Chains A and B, each alone.
Chain A
Amino acid sequence: MSTDGKTLGGRLRGRVWKYGDNIDTDVIIPARYLNMSTAEELARHCMEDIDPRFATEVEAGDIIVGGENFGCGSSREHAPLAIKGAGITCVVAESFARIFYRNAINIGLPIIVCPEASREAEDGDEMVIDLEAGRITNTRLDKSYTTSPFPPFIMKIIQAGGLIPYTRAQLASAEG
């Protein structure tokens, strides 16, 4: 399983796991597992309350596609960690809950808002995502979608590999 998150610059290609609206962090990783905190441990229980197949069948490189308000509810960073730990390389949705959005960016899990691509994708589709070009292609539909670019500040965090490496660099340059 790839957990380095350094996917930027490369193209992502993977099977789509499609979910609906308001996928909350309690189903992404139920609270009964919050006595653990590593991505590897959490990944074993990712999505198990709505999709028991997910944790066993997911493969490194796969992509999650959600509907509106993906990641709503608890602030638990365990949710994007579990997703990343499961080998998911990108989450595409119609919209994201704001804490989940921050958390994903902060831990280096690429996430993309693209309502059209999300609505038209079906479970089991294959998607190709070019993060730098801002393009999502659904190979079954043979259709491409353009995504809006990240704000420059957020792009810097992504390029640094997450908020911790970004802040480390900031602190180092402030001292230097």
Chain B
Amino acid sequence: MAQTLAEKIIAHHVYDPSHSDSVPELSPGDLIEVNVDIVLANDITAPISLREFEKLGVERVFDPDKVVLVADHFAPNKDIKSAEQCALMRRFAREQDLPHHYDVGQMGIEHVLLHEQGLVLPGDVVVGADSHTCTYGALGAFATGMGSTDIAVAMATGRIWMRVPETKRFVYTGTLQPWVGGKDLILYTIGMIGVSGALYQAMEFTGPAIDALSMAGRFTMANMAIEAGAKAGLFAVDASTESYVAGRAKRPYQVFASDPDAPVAEVIEIDASTIEPQVALPHLPENARPISEVGEVRIDQAVIGSCTNGRLEDLRIAAGLLKGKQVNRDVRCIVIPGTQQVYLDALREGLIEAFIEAGAVVSTPTCGPCLGGYMGILAAGERAVSTTNRNFRGRMGHTDSEVYLSGPAVAAASALTGHISSPEEV
């Protein structure tokens, strides 16, 4: 039977107590238990997972090598309670002898870090207590966010229940316009189908424009699949993927591909050559508009970073625009490299210097302002343009503040002009 990428990965991970070698044929809607390759939690979701893990009465995690804990949301600790949460996670990591516990100094934003470190590979099933776990779909892995209790069970048993999702396939044709990247494609797509447009489904991103898209752009797109309600966002493995994984992978991996005739819920064709840089207006990611239709929107803050756009390529785009210019005096421009490695690479390339000379600040890796944690909270009536993933009411601070989502080019251009701007303007 012809199957999609998502169905094949899941089928090869179905838990089989009898240990037979057969791979079951699955259909969307089937409820099954799957073996997981990586289980992930962070400093705000792990505390609940660890509490629930204890209730299971299990002494050890199923495999210390497959459990990843990252202190990234409120770390370096923003207050005493956050410090307690990180301490709890640190204690557990030591007790369980977990090699993949990333604390301040090694840590980065989890969904920039795991693939950079080669922990997640094509063909994997990855579950994480963070909704943006879907990011790893860019590698041709089946990766999905869950809650802390699910993750506690996965940490203990190495498996979790799952419903096989339908697949919705997106085919992007044409050549991208200047300044258009993965963020613009995904905002455009969410604008088209809505924030529940792929509810419970796997989004599959294909087509010539995707083949030409960088890995950074693919991670950005997969990252925001959840903003359309999707369970996962997947890309086929190609030469770009293989070259990204080469030198990072420390274990073998398996490459799966969708059969061309596999039944899918829907195929949506998008002429990507018509897509302008996008901006999602408050208070939903589906409120995407082409930059030419946004109008005059003054901003108080520009945030460049996050698990969506905190990669080296994103910082290069932003620095390219900011270099030799000055951030508008009414704008706080906050740049957050996604990991220590991204930070170091940016430093060596001179990007950090360009940011600081332009009047931007550069932070240690953290999720910080994206979810209104710290490092850039908005006051009532303030407005930010941000390369993050959500613009819900109150997401970055006061309930009467506003977040406009964009890619790094629009965010950097806007930081210079003081209003939401096309990079063509600067």
Tell me the complex Cα distance, A154–B58, Å. Answer: 23
Given contact pairs A26-B395, A99-B146, A106-B150, A151 touches B31 in the complex (Cβ within 8 A): yes
CB distance from B318 to the nearest CB of A (A): 24
Task: Determine whether the beta carbon of A163 is less than 8 Å from that of B394.
Answer: no
Tell me the complex Cα distance, A107–B152, Å. Answer: 12
Tell me the complex Cα distance, A24–B196, Å. Answer: 12
A91-102 to B contact mask, C-beta < 8 Å, 1/0? 000010111001
CB of B376 closer than 8 Å to a CB of A: no
Task: Determine whether the beta carbon of A164 is less than 8 Å from that of B152.
Answer: yes
Q: A32: which B residues are within 8 A, CB to CB?
A: 372-373
Task: Determine whether the beta carbon of A69 is less than 8 Å from that of B44.
Answer: no
CB of B421 closer than 8 Å to a CB of A: no
Given contact pairs A37-B47, A164-B55, A30 touches B196 in the complex (Cβ within 8 A): no
Tell me the complex Cα distance, A114–B395, Å. Answer: 29
Task: Determine whether the beta carbon of B45 is less than 8 Å from that of A76.
Answer: yes
Q: B152: which A residues are within 8 A, CB to CB?
A: 164
Task: Determine whether the beta carbon of A73 is less than 8 Å from that of B390.
Answer: yes
CB of B157 closer than 8 Å to a CB of A: yes
Tell me the complex Cα distance, A98–B228, Å. Answer: 11
Task: Determine whether the beta carbon of B199 is less than 8 Å from that of A153.
Answer: no
CB of A50 closer than 8 Å to a CB of B: yes
CB distance from B354 to the nearest CB of A (A): 31
CB of A141 closer than 8 Å to a CB of B: no
CB distance from B225 to the nearest CB of A (A): 12
Interface size class of B (residues with CB under 8 A): 35 or more
CB of B308 closer than 8 Å to a CB of A: no
CB of A168 closer than 8 Å to a CB of B: yes
Q: B58: which A residues are within 8 A, CB to CB?
A: 171
CB distance from A162 to the nearest CB of B (A): 7
Tell me the residues in window 22-40 of chain A with beta carbons closer than 8 Å to chain B beta carbons.
22, 24, 26-27, 30-32, 34-37
Q: A73: which B residues are within 8 A, CB to CB?
A: 131, 226, 390, 392
Chosen A-B contacts, 24 in total, with CB atoms closer than 8 Å, are A22-B195, A22-B196, A26-B393, A35-B82, A35-B85, A36-B81, A49-B394, A69-B196, A72-B196, A72-B229, A73-B226, A73-B390, A74-B390, A75-B128, A76-B44, A78-B48, A97-B199, A98-B229, A99-B145, A99-B146, A102-B146, A103-B150, A167-B156, A171-B157
A residues apposed to B, CB below 8 Å: 22, 24, 26-27, 30-32, 34-37, 49-50, 68-69, 72-78, 80-81, 95, 97-99, 102-103, 106-107, 151, 153-154, 162-164, 167-168, 171
B residues apposed to A, CB below 8 Å: 31, 44-45, 47-48, 51-52, 55-58, 73-74, 78-79, 81-82, 84-85, 128-131, 133, 145-150, 152-153, 156-157, 161, 195-196, 199-200, 226, 229, 231, 284, 371-373, 390, 392-395, 399
16 A-B pairs besides A95-B199, A164-B152 with CB distance below 8 A are: A24-B390, A24-B392, A26-B371, A49-B394, A69-B199, A74-B130, A74-B390, A77-B48, A97-B229, A99-B131, A99-B147, A102-B150, A164-B55, A164-B56, A171-B156, A171-B157
